[in-house]
């Protein structure tokens, strides 16, 4: 197509029409996806797939049409919009309409297969879904029950493997039509730097935190050996992940009772406090909203309370994976959760509301700028707020005794590290594996072997028993069949501590970083809002600087937050094996 350079207003007219069209399609797709996620039937699956196919096809057509302006003179704002238009999809369908519909249908089918996954535990009265099987991993200490629950859920991947292999081929075909080497290269191009430089940036951040992770891993392994014996947990090798209290070993805090530092009281139990106070799910959400309001931000719209799915319906299949929604890209904000009265879900609520408040803050931006600076910012924001859920803050809500002594720092920090630090290598590996799948480094016949090779290398974990290529264990993680990039969560686990440190300083809170809460600080709220309002209108270093005064992502805040625990772990590990 010839370059369009003669008409100086052509770029503005093209972008204005494109943004109007994309906004209409976004609303249609969001509504169809919401109905499918909260009422799974073959009909809602088909409707969501068709809406997604229309959105993808139109976006791809517009992205390709924008190439005629490659040599045109334009403002930096318009140049950024065109770049974001070309990067706006995580899934690019091929030009052929039949193939495009096939691709969107594959994703809807894989997500539906995942949501319908069930396993009958040995001796159990009925089959359990992921939530029920995860509860076994959380609560049981019976090795056989843990292995059965883990293995039973992971069979869901068998029904996803073939669809996934076809999806990879079609997604790559679409990405290549748009000018990218493959879908992984498309994903890595969203960070205001070349894809190869982004790989180096992720590895740099991982190298900052890897020694701390290895120290935590060594301590946890030794405690699990003491509990289960060296026959089940090797003293020098990777940890069998079904002993870590989570289906993917991405967080270990639910086995804290086995890992608590000797001589500590065990730390404050938020779940028990919520239950004892008779806290309801709407009240938990109201507490989350109250935190943002304490920073000077407005209340959620009434429609949020009318339209959100806060608990699991009893009459239909739903996607329980927690998520935040901005249906109309303006103010129709919702969350979807199968919330339970737990301390974990109390934190998840704050996380999801962080998405909603971010979405609302940039709603005045042009459509193509209605997003976070990069996707790690979106994930980090709510978790930044959750870092302020300290015992002192909970006392202000009446959920903790204000007269109680300060928590033992080792207990408090270890609980947090089991959630935050334990996650980091998994947050890296899941997309590292997919990037290699997309670029052909990993062939379909090697999906499972390479999955476990990477998890052993970075995470130091292993499955309960050998896993063959008849299994597809990556498919047992929601984000894989649902085509959701994951490295954003790794970035968020770095950025949230960088954000927290900056906001604590802005709030003028004294004392250790891990005890500081910004609750009630409108100064911190103004700094936060200044960053959120930028949306994607500027490169992410500008947004980072608006909040923190820094232009490089850095794990220094994380290391400062956990410094007392790191020193204690290193002392505990002296004379014992570290690594695997």
More confident residue, 412 or 256: 256
Q: Is 265 a catalytic residue?
A: no
For the chain, the straight-line distance linking the first and the last C-alpha, in angstroms and rounded, comes to 55
Query: Do residues 568 and 213 make contact, with C-beta atoms less than 8 angstroms apart?
Result: no
Half-sphere exposure of residue 335: CA atoms within 13 angstroms, side-chain side: 28
What is the DSSP pairing of strand 333-336 with strand 239-240? unpaired
Mean predicted confidence (pLDDT) in 93-111: 90
pTM strictly above 0.85: yes
Task: Give residue 1's pLDDT band: very low, low, confident or very high (50, 70, 90).
Answer: very low
**In the numeric block, which tokens belong to residue 532?**
């959120």
Q: Which of 147, 379, 471, 506 is catalytic?
A: 379
pLDDT tens, residue by residue, 510-524: 989 998 999 999 999
- Facing residues of 13 across strands? none
Q: Active site includes 185? A: no
pLDDT at 240 over 60: yes
Considering the chain, what percentage of its residues have pLDDT values greater than 70? Answer: 97
Residue 6 has pLDDT above 70, yes or no: no
Query: Of 217, 350, 351, 500, which one is the catalytic site residue?
Result: 351
Cβ neighbours for 337, distance < 8 A, ≥ 6 positions apart: 309, 310, 311, 320, 322, 323, 345, 348, 349, 352
> CA angle, corner 224, sides to 219 and 227, nearest 5?
135
Q: Which one of 489, 514, 536, 546 is the catalytic residue?
A: 489
> Can 277 be counted among the known catalytic residues?
no
379 catalytic residue (yes or no) = yes
Q: Is 36 a catalytic residue?
A: no
Distances (CA, A) of 413 to 157, 215, 331, 346, 561: 35, 14, 37, 18, 9
Q: What is the DSSP annotation of 104-131?
A: HHHHHHHHHHHHT--B--TT-SS-B-HH
List pLDDT tens digits, range 151-196: 999 999 999 999 999 999 999 999 998 889 999 999 999 999 999 9
User: Any catalytic annotation for residue 235?
Assistant: no
Point out the catalytic residue in the list 10, 286, 322, 392.
322
d(CA 29, CA 36): 10
Options 147, 289, 352, 407, the catalytic residue: 352
The DSSP annotation for 146-195 comes to: HHHHHHHHHGGGGGTHHHHHHHHHHHHHHHHHTT-SSHHHHHHTTSSS-H
Q: How far apart are CA 251 and CA 300, in angstroms?
A: 30
% pLDDT > 90, the chain? 82
Nearby residues of 560 by Cβ (< 8 Å), 6 or more positions away = 497, 501, 513
β-pairing verdict for 323-326 and 461-462: unpaired
Active-site option among 217, 287, 355, 378: 355
pLDDT at 351 exceeding the cut of 50: yes
> Is residue 361 annotated as part of the catalytic site, yes or no?
no
| pLDDT tens sequence across 523-573 | 999 999 999 999 999 999 999 999 999 999 999 999 999 999 999 999 999
Which pair of structure tokens corresponds to residue 38?
A: 């909260």
pLDDT band at residue 92 using 50, 70 and 90 as cut-offs: confident
Largest pairwise CA distance in the chain = 76
Each residue of 39-71: pLDDT tens digit?
Answer: 999 999 999 989 988 898 899 889 989 989 988
Query: What's CA 12's distance to the chain center, in Å?
Result: 35
Which residue is associated with the tokens 């091929």?
94
Name the catalytic one among 177, 210, 392, 479.
Answer: 479
Q: How many CB atoms lie within 10 A of CB 139?
A: 11
Residue 325 burial (C-beta neighbours within 10 Å; 0-12, 13-18, 19+): buried
R_g over Cα of the chain: 24
Three-state DSSP state, 451? helix
Active site residue 506: no
Average pLDDT over every residue of 367-382: 94
Average confidence (pLDDT) over 82-106? 90
């Amino acid at each position: 197509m010839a370059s369009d350079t003669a008409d100086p207003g052509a770029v503005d007219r093209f972008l204005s029409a494109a943004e109007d069209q994309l906004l209409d399609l976004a609303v249609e797709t969001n509504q169809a996806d919401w109905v499918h996620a909260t009422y799974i039937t073959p009909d809602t699956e088909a409707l969501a797939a068709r809406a997604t196919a229309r959105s993808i096809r139109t976006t791809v057509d517009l992205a390709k049409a924008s190439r005629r302006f490659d040599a045109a003179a334009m403002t930096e704002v318009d140049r950024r919009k065109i770049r974001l238009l070309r990067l706006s999809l995580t899934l690019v369908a091929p030009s052929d309409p039949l193939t495009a519909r096939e691709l969107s249908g594959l994703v809807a089918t894989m997500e539906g297969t995942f949501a319908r996954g069930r396993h009958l535990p040995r001796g159990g009265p009925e089959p359990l879904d992921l939530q029920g099987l995860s509860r076994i991993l959380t609560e049981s200490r019976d090795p056989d029950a843990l292995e059965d629950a883990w293995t039973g859920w992971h069979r869901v991947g068998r029904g996803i493997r073939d669809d996934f292999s076809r999806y990879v081929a079609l997604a790559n075909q679409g990405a290549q039509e748009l000018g990218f080497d493959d879908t992984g290269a498309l994903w890595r191009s969203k960070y205001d730097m070349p894809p190869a430089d982004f790989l180096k940036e992720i590895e740099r951040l991982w190298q900052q935190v890897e020694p701390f992770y290895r120290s935590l891993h060594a301590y946890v392994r030794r405690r699990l050996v003491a509990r289960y014996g060296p026959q089940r947990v090797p003293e020098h090798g990777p940890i069998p992940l079904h002993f870590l209290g989570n289906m993917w070993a991405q967080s270990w805090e639910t086995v804290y009772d086995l890992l608590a530092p000797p001589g500590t009281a065990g730390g404050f139990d938020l779940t028990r406090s919520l239950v004892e106070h008779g806290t309801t799910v709407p009240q938990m959400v109201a507490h989350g909203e109250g935190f943002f309001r304490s920073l000077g931000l407005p209340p959620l719209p009434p429609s949020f309370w009318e339209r959100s799915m806060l608990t699991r319906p009893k009459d239909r299949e739903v996607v329980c994976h927690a998520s935040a929604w901005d249906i109309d890209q303006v103010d129709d904000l919702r969350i979807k959760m199968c919330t339970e009265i737990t301390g974990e879900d109390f934190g998840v609520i704050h996380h999801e509301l962080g998405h909603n408040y971010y979405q609302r803050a940039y709603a005045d931006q042009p459509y193509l700028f209605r997003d976070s600076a990069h996707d790690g910012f979106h994930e980090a924001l709510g978790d930044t707020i959750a870092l302020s859920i300290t015992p002192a803050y909970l006392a202000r809500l009446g959920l903790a005794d204000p007269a109680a002594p300060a928590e033992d720092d080792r207990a408090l920090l270890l609980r947090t590290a089991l959630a935050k630090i334990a996650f980091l290598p998994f947050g890296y590996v899941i997309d590292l594996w997919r990037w290699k799948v997309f670029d052909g480094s990993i062939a379909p016949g090697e999906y499972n072997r390479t999955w476990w090779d990477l998890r052993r290398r970075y995470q130091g974990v292993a499955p309960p028993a050998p896993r063959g290529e008849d299994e597809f264990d990556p498919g047992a993680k929601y984000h894989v069949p649902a085509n959701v990039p994951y490295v954003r969560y790794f970035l968020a686990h770095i950025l949230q501590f960088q954000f927290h440190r900056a906001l604590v300083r802005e709030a003028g809170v004294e004392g250790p970083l891990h005890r500081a809460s910004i609750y009630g600080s409108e100064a911190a709220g103004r700094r936060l809002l200044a960053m959120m309002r930028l949306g994607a209108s500027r490169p992410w270093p500008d947004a980072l600087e608006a909040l923190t005064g820094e232009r490089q992502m850095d794990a220094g805040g994380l290391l400062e937050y956990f410094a007392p625990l790191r020193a204690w772990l290193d002392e505990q590990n002296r004379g014992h094996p570290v690594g695997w």
